[in-house]
Every structure is written in C-alpha cells, then in structure tokens.
C-alpha cells in the first residue's frame, strides 16, 4: 500500500512539472509457453512497439505512425519450491539502425490467496550495445490476478491482471528510475490460450530532467504448447 501511494504521489507531482513529455503507441505481443519435465518451463516472446503520437503536454501534435522496435526473447524457468522459481534468458532488440542484446535473471515468488494470486518478481538484466555503455537494471514487479467468476480462472472466463513495477537503471555514470503501472482485462479462451488487453503506462526521466509519460495500448496473446 505504501509503495502504491508513493507511485501516485510521483505521478501527481510529475504532471504539474512544465514541459512534461508524452508518447502514445501500440505494444502487441505473442507469448508461447512450454512445460518440460523436472519442473522446467520455457517462454518465447515477440513484442513490437509502434508510436502513434508524441510531444509535450499542452501542445497540439498530429497523429503520426512510426515503427520503433521489435523484441524477441527466450526465458527458461526452474521451479525450486512450491511457490518459488529461478529464471534466466536472453533478449534481442531490433531497431532500424541498431541491434541490442540483453541477458536476464529472475527470482519469482507466487502466492495464492482466496480469489487472488500475487506474484513477486525480482530481476536484473544487462543490455549491451555497439556504441555505448552497458545498461544494468534492477527491477521489482508485483503482479495481481483476480478472477471475475469464482475463485480461479477457468476457460471462457474473464479476469483482471495488474502489474506494478519499479526499475532502477544505470548506464555509465547515468542513473534513472522508471515506474510502471499496467492494468489488463484478460479472457481465458481455453486451457491453452488467453488474450489480454490493457494500458501499459511508464514514467521515467523525472529525477533530474523533464518527466516522460509513455502510454502503450497492450495486446497480449498467450499460448501453451
């Protein structure tokens, strides 16, 4: 609760700062999951980012489509206890004029409650680029999943999922903090497929420069094979 109030305080403060920047766009993704023996699980993900509008609050800017990047990642997770997992993986980011490589490490704790599931994810990642310093990030994400019918999410039922995340990033001598709030409405199509639609809101660059607000329309499809 305290973390949520801190996030709301940051958002309110940032909006009253002059020359706040914004960005609107689309963030579709496809996730494919595969369970393996001995409590292993693989996840492959493709996510594309496209901008529709950007500028400064208070200014009039036209909509203008621009492709930004595509991320392709693979992560392997191993369950080490009933509610705990370790994971690691690799991501390649494809942009028009550059390619970035990222290594990912995660520790996940999942807790089930009465009509609610909470997941804590502690993660680090390192992004390498050809002309620039390595970016290192330390991340914490709290995810909640709430069925809208009964105590669990069954096929043909809707659910709500909310992610709240803090990211500390270091690149050379530069440091930045990013806050994310991601509410989704999901539909469990079948035992092996589900679809989510929501808003991916991100706030960064507010520590020592003008804040940047990014609003992505997220469309996520999950499939188990």
Q: What is the pLDDT of residues 20-42, one digit of tens each?
A: 899 999 999 999 999 999 999 99
CA distance linking residue 64 with residue 57, whole number of Å: 16
CA distance linking residue 150 with residue 31, whole number of Å: 26
Chain-centroid distance of CA 67 in Å reads 19
CA distance linking residue 178 with residue 108, whole number of Å: 20
**C-beta separation of 206 from 176 below 8 A:** no
CA distance linking residue 207 with residue 168, whole number of Å: 11
Tell the burial category of 196 from Cβ atoms under 10 Å away from its Cβ (0-12, 13-18, 19+): buried
CA distance linking residue 18 with residue 186, whole number of Å: 36
Residue 61 resides in a domain: no
Rg (CA), the chain: 18
Q: What is the pLDDT of residue 3?
A: 55
**C-beta separation of 218 from 27 below 8 A:** yes
Residue 120 resides in a domain: yes
Residue 195 resides in a domain: yes
Q: What is the pLDDT of residue 16?
A: 46
- pTM score above 0.95: no
Residue 27 resides in a domain: no
**C-beta separation of 57 from 22 below 8 A:** yes
Low-confidence ranges of the chain (pLDDT < 70): 1-18
Residue 65 resides in a domain: no
Backbone angles phi, psi at 154, to 5 degrees: -105, 165
Q: Which domain holds residue 109?
A: 2-15+75-87+100-224
Q: What is the pLDDT of residue 58?
A: 84
Let me know how many helices (H) and strands (E) the chain has, helices first: 1, 11
Q: Count structural domains, the chain.
A: 1
CA distance linking residue 127 with residue 192, whole number of Å: 32
Chain-centroid distance of CA 204 in Å reads 14
Residue 215 resides in a domain: yes
Q: What is the DSSP letter of 114?
A: T
Residue 52 resides in a domain: no
CA distance linking residue 187 with residue 221, whole number of Å: 10
**C-beta separation of 159 from 197 below 8 A:** no
**C-beta separation of 51 from 25 below 8 A:** yes
CA distance linking residue 116 with residue 12, whole number of Å: 29
Q: What is the pLDDT of residue 62?
A: 86
Q: What is the pLDDT of residue 76?
A: 98
Residue 144 resides in a domain: yes
The SS3 of residue 106 is: strand
Q: What is the pLDDT of residue 103?
A: 98
Q: What is the pLDDT of residue 8?
A: 54
Q: What is the pLDDT of residue 222?
A: 98
């Amino acid at each position: 609760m305290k973390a949520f109030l801190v996030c709301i305080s940051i958002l309110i403060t940032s909006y009253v700062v002059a020359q706040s920047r914004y960005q609107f766009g689309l963030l579709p993704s496809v996730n494919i999951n595969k369970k393996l023996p001995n409590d292993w699980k693989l996840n492959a993900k493709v996510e594309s980012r496209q901008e529709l509008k950007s500028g400064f609050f208070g200014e009039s800017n036209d909509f203008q489509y621009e492709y930004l990047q595509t991320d392709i990642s693979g992560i392997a997770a191993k369950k080490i206890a009933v509610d705990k997992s370790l994971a690691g993986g690799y991501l390649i980011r494809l942009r028009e004029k550059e390619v970035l490589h990222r290594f990912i490490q995660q520790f996940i704790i999942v807790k089930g409650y009465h009509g609610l599931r909470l997941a804590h994810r502690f993660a680090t990642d390192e992004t390498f680029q050809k002309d620039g310093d390595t970016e290192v990030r330390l991340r914490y994400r709290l995810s909640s999943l709430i069925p809208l019918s009964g105590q669990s999410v069954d096929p043909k039922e809707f659910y709500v999922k909310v992610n709240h995340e803090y990211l500390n990033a270091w690149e050379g001598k530069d440091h930045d903090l990013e806050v994310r709030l991601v509410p989704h409405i999901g539909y469990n199509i079948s035992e092996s497929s589900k679809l989510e639609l929501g808003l991916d809101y991100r706030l960064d660059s507010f520590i020592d420069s003008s804040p940047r607000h990014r609003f992505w329309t997220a469309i996520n499809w999950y499939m188990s094979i």
